[in-house]
Amino acid sequence: MFSSLRTRFGVPGVISVIALVFAMFGGAYAASNSSDNGKATASAKAKKGPKGPKGATGPAGPAGPAGPAGAKGDNGANGVNGSNGAAGSNGISVAVSDVESNPAGECGLPGGIKVSSASPDAVVCNGEDGTDGTNGSPWAAGGTLPSGSTETGSWTMLLSELEPGLFAGEAALSFPIPLAAELGATKVKVVAPSGSDVDCDDGNATNGAPSVTNPEAANGYACAFVATEPPGVVTRVLAKASAAALNPGAAKSGARLFVVGTEAGTAYGTFAVTGLTP
């Protein structure tokens, strides 16, 4: 047998096999003779150490999902209707009454009204009489044009043929604010195109020279400024508006302007009148 093993594994191989067999038998023997049925026991139990300190509190965890909605509750019972005058009562209509006008009253002499309801009463007083104001301007209705004050206006007319080579027209000049007195013939002036008159200048150089586009008049004078189309019309007289024949001058409320020309056309212009208290 050994001869066969030696031939196959050689001497070192035979020795290794024998050693392996003895090792296996030795382990089996030790296991069969163990006092704890082959279980290994520790030679001594380890000693338990002291308890460590409490660790820090960890972070809060995420919020959990919302729970399901609860069931719908039953309707409450209807409340009881209140009565007038009680707390929580029905509304009460507002009553309005006059407050007597006397010094001892709630509003004094002007008087007023009292508003009553379920809430505390409220008193609304009339306003007291104010002090008398100053006299109104004479420019108001019924007044007359004050001295030094000027009013202006405009006019237009057509020149019609009265006879061969003679053309004429008429226009009314109306004073919105009447004059304090009528004006005589010497106080009414007609300024032809490109003409001028010292009594038709109010002395205020700020507005420029008197003209159709800038009518002016001295105190107590009325002035009519004339323009024509075509040029060449001759002006004659500014007459007082009255039932009588042509009376040169101007009435308190206005005048009539007569223009005589050499051909058919249109005459137009402006006027200014400045008051003078008599």
What is the pLDDT at residue 238? 45
**Distance spanning both ends of the chain, measured CA to CA:** 179
What is the pLDDT at residue 154? 94
Q: Quick check: helix, strand or coil at residue 30?
A: helix
What is the pLDDT at residue 136? 60
Local confidence pLDDT in tens for the 278 residues of the chain: 555 555 555 556 656 666 666 666 555 554 555 555 544 444 455 677 778 788 788 888 888 888 888 888 888 888 776 555 544 456 667 777 776 655 556 676 667 777 777 567 777 777 777 788 776 665 666 788 988 899 999 999 888 888 887 888 888 889 989 998 898 888 988 888 778 899 999 988 888 899 999 999 999 999 999 888 877 655 554 444 443 445 678 889 898 888 877 788 888 999 999 998 66
Residue 73: HSE in the Cβ half-sphere, 13 Å Cα cutoff:
3
CB 151 within 8 Å of CB 175: yes
Which residues are paired to 151 by β-bridges? 273
What is the pLDDT at residue 121? 72
Q: Quick check: helix, strand or coil at residue 278?
A: coil
CB 238 within 8 Å of CB 255: yes
What is the pLDDT at residue 161? 87
In one-letter notation, the amino acid at residue 162 is L
Q: What are the tokens at 2?
A: 């050994």
CB 188 within 8 Å of CB 222: yes
- Per DSSP, the residues of 52-70 read PPPPPPPPPPPPPPPPPPP
d(CA 188, CA 179): 13
Q: Kindly state the greatest CA–CA separation across the chain.
A: 187
Question: Does the model's pTM come out above 0.75?
Answer: no
Q: Is 272 exposed, middle or buried (0-12, 13-18, 19+ CB in 10 A)?
A: buried
